[in-house]
Amino acid sequence: MDRQLDDQAIADQTLMAGLTAAVAVAAAATLAMAGGGASVRIKADGSPVTDADERSQAILLQAMARLMPGVPVVSEEMATRPSRLGNLFALIDPLDGTKGYVAGSSEYTVNLAIMHDGRPVAGIVAVPAEGLIYRGMARHGAERLAMAHDGTIADPAAAQPIGIRGAPPHNRVAMVSRSHLDAATIALLDRLHIGRRMACGSALKFCRIAEGLADIYPRLATTCEWDVAAGHALVEAAGGSVTLPDGGALRYGDAASDFRVPAFIAWGDRAGVLAAA
């Protein structure tokens, strides 16, 4: 596939169906190994990795090689990540929320994003324990699909369109990290007068913004591109935005920084949230 693929071609329904099916199979693999079925090892950075992470990654890498041959892929558990990406590449987190997964939490996801010119143009987030897949494409909207435990999507035609909500003047909701909530985030939400804060793990927080259940998700600390990209695509496709804390554009593909994101804010109705502050 040509690395200069345009957004319209990326949004091809056959391609998206194939990528969605692959994410569903990977999600089913993580679900089957949950509850102690996956051995745990500690990586050099102190974070855990399990057999489920590696199995999910293998499924997704094989699918990318089949569906988008020649397109570089950056995935969390790769031993060696590509240093030259070109204009088109993919970002994968085969199991986002591994710590929670190991502890028995259901708040983990499988994330895949297609990037074009440093921006996410398509994103798929599976929530295996909920039997749901969220996906969004630039200028094509966002939707939610049901997934069976074996990884099949029973009726793609039954996909439910989703979108952000207009920020209410009162009772606005912030999604916050269950394990990384810091003083800077608390201070920001205090300044915005958002008192209702829902703690959650993984990219599930982006899904809650995209389906209109929350209004903002700030992460004011360093994270990795593969943690953010699929959720970024989903939120934007649903009508929201994901920016740097100063409102600037978030760009991806920074191999020199080992694909780090310094900080970001995911917004539903950004103007409405700021106006109500």
Q: Which strand (E) or helix (H) includes residue 196?
A: strand 196-200
What span, in angstroms and rounded, lies between the C-alpha atoms of 133 and 148? 10
Per-residue pLDDT of the chain (277 residues; tens, 9 = 90+): 444 444 555 556 789 999 999 999 999 999 999 977 678 999 988 889 999 999 999 999 999 999 999 999 999 999 899 988 999 999 999 999 999 999 999 999 999 999 999 999 999 999 999 999 999 998 899 999 999 999 999 787 889 999 999 999 999 999 999 888 889 999 999 999 999 999 999 999 999 999 999 999 999 999 999 999 999 999 999 999 999 999 999 999 999 999 999 999 999 999 999 998 8
By the 10 Å C-beta count (0-12 exposed, 13-18 middle, 19+ buried), 209 is classed as: buried
pLDDT of residue 44: 86
Tokens representing residue 112 in the block: 């895949």
pLDDT of residue 10: 55
Q: Would you kindly state where each structural domain of the chain is located, as residue ranges? A: 7-162, 173-276
pLDDT of residue 231: 98
- Listed residue (152, 43, 34, 27) closest to 94, CA to CA: 27
By the 10 Å C-beta count (0-12 exposed, 13-18 middle, 19+ buried), 103 is classed as: exposed
- How far is the CA of 6 from the CAs of 18, 114, 213, in angstroms? 18, 11, 32
What span, in angstroms and rounded, lies between the C-alpha atoms of 248 and 258? 21
CATH number of 7-162: 3.30.540.10
CATH class, 173-276 region: alpha beta
